[in-house]
Amino acid sequence: MAHSSARVLADVFLARIPSTTERQLAIREISKGLHDHSTASLTAELLHSCPDDESETHLYEYLVGSLKLASDVESLCKAVDLCSLHPRVRSRILHEIEHNLDDAGALLSLRGVFKGYAIPTLVEIGTERQRLLQIDYDSTIELSVKFLSFLRTIYWSSVELPSTTQLVRSSLLLVGASHERLSCAARDALYAALTRLQNEPLPQSAAESLSLELWSRIISLSSVNSSQHYRSIAFNLWLRWTALPNGLRPTQSVLQDDRYWETLQSGLRTGASEQRKSCLHILRRSLSFVERDVITSHMVYKVGGLDATNRRKVLESQYERYCTLFETIVLGRYLNQVEECLGDLNFLASSKSKVGRTWLWSLLTPAFSVHMQDSLRKFVGTWLMNANVHSDSEVDELPEFLASSFLPWATQGHLFVSGIQKDGRQIRCIHGEQVSAFVKRLLEVRQSDGRGVHELTYPRTILTWIYDRGGALTPYAGAYLLEGLLKGLGDAESNKTLDDTDIDLVIKISSRTGLPEIARDLYTVLCVGLCQHWKHTSSILEALQSFRGYRALSERFHAIGLVDRSLTSDPGVAWALGPDRPSLEAAVAKIEESRYRCLRGSGLPAACNYLRHILDETDSFDGAEGGKLNIFIEALWSEVETQDYPKDALMLIPEVLLHPRCVRHCQTDSGLKHTLPSVFTKLLVLAENRIYVFSPLAAALRNAYLREPTTSASLPLDDFFVRLAKHPPSSKLEFLLESALSSMLSGCGSEFRHLTYGSYYGESESHGYACTVDLLNRLRETDVSVAKSTLDQLLSAWTEQQMPIPMVSKWKTTLQLQTMVVVSERYLRDATTDEVERFLSLYHKVLAIEPLPRYRYLLEWMIVRLYVHHAGKRKSLLEILSSIDHHSNPKYIASALKMAVMVGCLEDSTQEFALGLMALLIPLSASSKIIVRHEAQWMFPTLWDNAIKQGWTQLTDNPAFASLNAHIRNLERYSDPPPGRALEWMHPVEDHSLTNLFQGGYLQMDPPDAEVVTREDFEVLWHDDKDTDLLLPCLPLGDAPLRKGQVNHERVDGSFTQAPAAKSPEPEVRSATHVPLQTKGTAYLITLLSSSGPTQQRPSTDLIIIASLIDNAYNLGGLSRVSEIFAAASLHVAKRSVVKSKDFTSVAVSSENHIPIHELPPTSLPSFLVQKKLEGYTAVGVEQTDRSVILGSDRCVLPKKCVLVMGSEKEGIPAWVLKDMDFCVEVRQSGVTRSMNVQTAAAVVMFEYDRQHGGATR
């Protein structure tokens, strides 16, 4: 019953009963039977005119009972209406609520289930203890939840209330309850009370007292680390506290409290996005409250003195700049926007910045969080490692930042892997070098700033981090950190910085087990260097002996410098068989007598060296000695397998096994003839995973082949070449990082200069590839069958591919085609006509179907070289160009056209061939296929220039040819060709070289491929062979390769060809009966078909869309469109005038004419949300927060009466609005893009709402 109706009915009722006594009796009778809100409202109106204590009690009891049964906002609103009609009943119910909340707080205190501080304490409970123990806990807590929900509703209303300070205090207490429903109910009531206090300020003394209690509770709740729930309440409460009027908001004394700023920074560092938004808003408002200088450990904000106005403006400007920077990096997280902030970051870290360093660490800490994108963390990390950050506070939080944020990021293994950079034969780890330089600079700065506290803090922080991480820390990260420490500490004689604790950590770190060889030795050397910085006045070397473990460290250090790591040194003591000449018979006898024990441990490499020495000294073996040789080799290999393939032995075995004299003896010894190929094949398999085996194996094989003609008959060379091409050995990442560390180790002093990567793992794999390719390139003419077998085996897989062929296949490698180029040149240069035709046909077949540009380039290379050697086959190119339809395979036509021009420009090409080709280029230049048309146009000037050079007047005097040439040269795409064209051009003779084959620009084609061998590798290899008679190579070495980005200007004019592009698939053609017909939404037809006239209203739901935070008219137009489509009840925007914007109407497509659009300024949004909540609506924010539920999940149940709040394009939903959301939803994402456009996100949420609630028309 409405108030006016109850009032009228009460007046009529009282008018009929003139006597006061009779009125009271009648009212009592009515109040005894209260059963609904209408009767209760009538009773309240009657009591207003005719007070009666008994009736008032009945009304109070009814109200309490209704609150116990209230289940929704509507029921609570009815209770509030009753309170507004009868102030005395309202006072009684508030007193009852206050008493109940006190009991609930006392019960919780007795049970010890508070978070933060708990009041009242057990001492304060005193005599109430017995009474409290008799109260039912569950019913009291449940009633408190109901009462708190009522308080929230009455605070929202306009009902006048007496002082509610005690109720606010009770709510402050109960938000810390472990009972989740009670805590949430107290939170909502407290928030509503603070909202009311914005317009109804308290007396000054009460306000100051409540303000201090709010601050105390914020501190206690924010310190609860076991649950984010209470920390969230703390910062949300803090945000509302700063919105209160003067007197209730933070006082000057609170702002002078260092905990205020420290807690705020903690919220920025460890909170989720919603909490961090709140903290930034609190920071902005708090700075506006400051009236006198704030000088604490975590905040220096001086606003007094001369020129105070300008000083405040500068401070406010810089802190606003800081907040924007935080929002961009931590909350926005778009890399392109973060990159634009580089200048702001540099300023923030500079001495000109007035923003304290603790705020910088509060920004960088979340920037290194594991929840941030790797690309953003890497950008910020790289910036920090190159920035020069000085401390400006006695409270230096940099060590904590290093240990908790920077080092966990900087020591990730994938950063060291991705930082590997190969510069010729030198391998560097760029990230490792940056980490080392950062640590070095950090220590240098701390030592120079005059703060003694820093001398120990930073080294110990890093040393403790390395030690605590133990085996979880990648060894390469530890090595670079130790190097940075050693360099940062400087000269050991003048800088004695480390104390006993530090030295103990250093020694423990040095004893870490499981390290790779180079890393192990480097740790030892670096740790010994750090020990020299010990603070000790006496002889440091003698004093260090007192540390446990230092003696072992020192012994390892001296052993590293003294040990000769050469694997080919003379046999040691283990294989010293006396003064007699080395003998196979004695060696085999020793092996048999010791039952292989002499081959264990270091005896195995020593035995390998012993056998190599025998082979070097013995020209030939008789039959008996040959048998002994086989026994020796079998024993060596058996022990290698038994010892699980030890590295040193595996690196020595190839030189012994493939010794020319050993290979030669295969022809006369059947046992060795079986053993040698068997072990050779096993070594080849091992080389794929143990890269240190590959180079010794390839070098030994090349040496054997060049010096022993029977090698091809003794070993399966074709299997070696094929397996190598199909499964190219490559360094594992740990070997690349070990190689980078080897440079660091060899630079630690002259005594370690010999400790290069090669001293540990031999030659790099590029040396092995150089040996293999050079061997292929020098195959004897008598071994042409090896070339043919290799070519057949490699080519078969390419010709047997099934369509469609993917752009990239795992089984294909560039090395396969590079190998085929070499063996094709060797085998087909002088092959029979039939063989040439067969391989030419196969090459064309593969080229016609291969999609990858890099592979097509090498196939074209092989084909053109066949035409170079077999001029009679060149006319087939013209036949291909004239017989194949341009539309059937345009990429193949473009390749054939390019190869024809290459052939046409050869020195021995004829005018007849060029004339026929140029005639074909004319129609091809007008082809409907872009790739064919452009290729023909780019190639025409090249052929024309060659005709001029050759003096072919039949071409140059033709006016049609001349006109087309002039036209093409004037085209923009000819004068400014794409960069890729320079990569694809190849001169069939001048570019036919090993350098171009393995370092040519074609390797840069997308996706780029690595160089397996370089010109330098061949030069080093050939330099070592300068005193040896070598077989002539098939391919020359060629000129030095052009660097990346260089262009050969001698061939720029007319020498570019277009990179083959993948053909877009043709659309599938279907019959007309299967073609789907496009339709539009038909929901509007329901209205039109069911309407009896033009006044019929559009269907709508209980969904209200709030777009007040959005500025972009284009996005607002899109929101209007989707809101109308999904039948939203209304759309609210900041300014109604936006509907006239062209951007709005271009997207809205008249939807604004069919949906109510209201003006709702952002400042009115909080009060609007409160009003809608009183009407039973739920506020739902579309935002990515720590408490968001995923749209479409089981937890995501959208309320039917829903106010959907959309955030701004950049910031999202700001903290001052986010605090009023009942809950938030976010759209599930699978890709890497962080967020979607606001209108798209809104459409997804509206679709889910429509799915859950059936829409407005179903």
Output the 3-class SS for 5-26. HHHHHHHHHHHCCCCHHHHHHH
CB-based contact 719:681 (threshold 8 Å) = yes
Long-range CB contacts for residues 269-272, cutoff 8 Å, separation at least 24: 269/361, 269/362, 269/365, 269/366, 270/365, 270/366, 271/231, 271/235, 271/1186, 272/228, 272/1185, 272/1186, 272/1187
1079 pLDDT band, cuts 50/70/90, is: very low
Domain range annotation of the chain: 373-532, 573-730, 776-1039, 1096-1253
Residue partners of 19: CB distance under 8 A and separation at least 6: none
Lowest mean pLDDT among 599-608, 908-917, 1061-1070, 1242-1251: 1061-1070
How many whole angstroms from its chain centre is CA 314?
37
Say yes or no to pLDDT of 858 above 90. yes
Q: What DSSP state is assigned to residue 1155? A: S
Q: What is the DSSP string of 1168-1212?
A: HHHHHHHTT-EEEEE---TTPEETTSTT----SSEEEEEPBTTTB
pLDDT in tens, 477-522: 999 999 999 998 887 666 677 888 999 999 999 999 989 889 999 9
Percent of the chain with pLDDT over 70: 86
Provide the pLDDT for residue 1086.
Answer: 45
Comparing 183-192, 225-234, 618-627, the range with the smallest average pLDDT is: 618-627
Sheet holding 1223-1226, edge to edge: 1157-1159, 1130-1133, 1103-1107, 1202-1206, 1178-1182, 1223-1226, 1189-1190
Residue 240 vs residues 187, 195, 1028, 1211, 1222: alpha-carbon distances, Å:
12, 8, 88, 20, 16
Answer whether 776-1039 and 1096-1253 agree in fold: no
Cα–Cα distance measured from residue 736 to residue 731, given in angstroms and rounded to the nearest whole number:
6
Q: Which of 296, 301, 319 is nearest to 395 (CA)?
A: 296
- What fold characterizes domain 1096-1253? Alpha/beta knot (3.40.1280)
CATH topology classification for 776-1039: Leucine-rich Repeat Variant (1.25.10)
By 3-state DSSP, what share of the chain in percent is helix, strand and coil, each rounded to 5?
65, 5, 30
Prior bond of 804 cis (ω within 30°):
yes
pLDDT at 1026: 65
In this prediction, residue 1255 carries a pLDDT of 63
The larger pLDDT score, comparing residue 1121 to residue 391, is at 1121
Q: What is the pLDDT of residue 1029?
A: 66
Cis ω before 1007 (30° cut-off from 0): yes
Helices (H), 449-583: 454-469, 475-489, 500-510, 517-531, 540-544, 550-562
pLDDT, the chain, mean:
84
Amino acid 155: pLDDT:
87
719 in Cβ contact with 819 (< 8 Å): no
Of the ranges 356-365, 691-700, 1091-1100, which one carries the lowest mean pLDDT score? 1091-1100
What whole-number distance in Å separates Cα of residue 532 and Cα of residue 512?
A: 20
Share of the chain above pLDDT 90, in %: 43
Rounded Cα distance between 152 and 149, Å, is: 5
pLDDT digits (tens, 9 = 90+) for 638-690: 999 999 999 989 999 999 999 998 998 888 888 888 999 999 999 999 998 88
Instruction: Please report, for residues 56, 354, 390, 778, 1169, the alpha-carbon distance to residue 1032 in angstroms, rounded to integers and kept in the order given.
Output: 119, 73, 65, 6, 88
Report the pLDDT value the prediction gives residue 90, as an integer from 0 to 100: 81
| pLDDT tier for residue 236 given thresholds of 50, 70 and 90 | very high
Give first-to-last CA distance, the chain, whole Å: 33
> What is the rounded CA–CA span in Å between residue 843 and residue 847?
6
Confidence check: pLDDT of 567 > 90 = no
Task: Return the minimum-mean-pLDDT range out of 74-83, 152-161, 336-345.
Answer: 74-83
- pLDDT per residue as tens digits for the range 953-966: 999 999 999 999 99
pLDDT at 971 over 50: yes
What is the model's pLDDT at position 1174?
Answer: 86
Burial class for 907, CB neighbours closer than 10 Å (0-12, 13-18, 19+): exposed
What's the pLDDT tens digit per position in 569-626? 444 444 555 545 667 888 888 888 888 888 888 888 888 988 888 888 877 666 667 7
pLDDT of residue 569: 46
DSSP β-ladder status, 300-301 and 420-423: unpaired
Task: Indicate the range of 107-121, 434-448, 957-971 predicted with least confidence.
Answer: 107-121
DSSP state of 450: T
Q: How confident is the model at residue 1231 (pLDDT cuts 50, 70, 90)?
A: confident
Single-letter code of the amino acid located at 843 = Y
Cα–Cα distance, 92 to 56 (Å, whole number): 10
Confidence tier at 1056 by pLDDT (50, 70, 90): very low
Q: What pLDDT score does 1072 carry?
A: 37
Report yes or no: 248 and 201 within 8 Å, Cβ to Cβ: yes
DSSP per residue, 551-609: HHHHHHHHHHHH----TTSPP-GGG---SSPP-HHHHHHHHHHTTTGGGSTTHHHHHHH
- Cβ pair 655, 697 in contact under 8 A: no
Residue 670 · residue 743 · CB < 8 Å: no
Amino acid at residue number 449: D
pLDDT at 1178: 93
- 218 vs 231: CA distance, rounded Å: 8
With cut-offs at 50, 70 and 90, classify the pLDDT of residue 1061.
Answer: very low
How much is the average pLDDT of 844-855?
93
Q: Which two tokens stand for residue 907?
A: 């020195």
> Which range is least confidently modeled, 631-640, 737-746, 845-854, 1090-1099?
1090-1099
Show Cβ contacts of residue 1019 under 8 Å, excluding neighbours closer than 6 positions: 1037
Q: How many Å apart are CA 874 and CA 909, to the nearest integer?
A: 9
- Cβ density class 636-667: b for 16+ within 10 Å, e for less: bbebbeeeebbbebbbbbbbbbbbbbbbbbbe
Q: How far apart are CA 1246 and CA 1198, in angstroms?
A: 10
More confident residue, 1223 or 1256: 1223
Q: Which residue has the higher pLDDT, 775 or 178?
A: 775
SS3 295: strand
Residue 294, helix vs strand vs coil: strand
Render pLDDT for 366-382 as a digit per residue (tens, 0 to 9). Answer: 999 998 999 999 999 99
- At residue 756 the predicted structure's pLDDT band, cuts being 50, 70 and 90, is confident
Q: Is the pLDDT of residue 916 over 80?
A: yes
Given this model, what pLDDT does residue 406 score? 95
pLDDT digits (tens, 9 = 90+) for 48-71: 777 777 777 777 777 777 777 777
> How far, in whole angstroms, is CA 1215 from its chain's centroid?
27
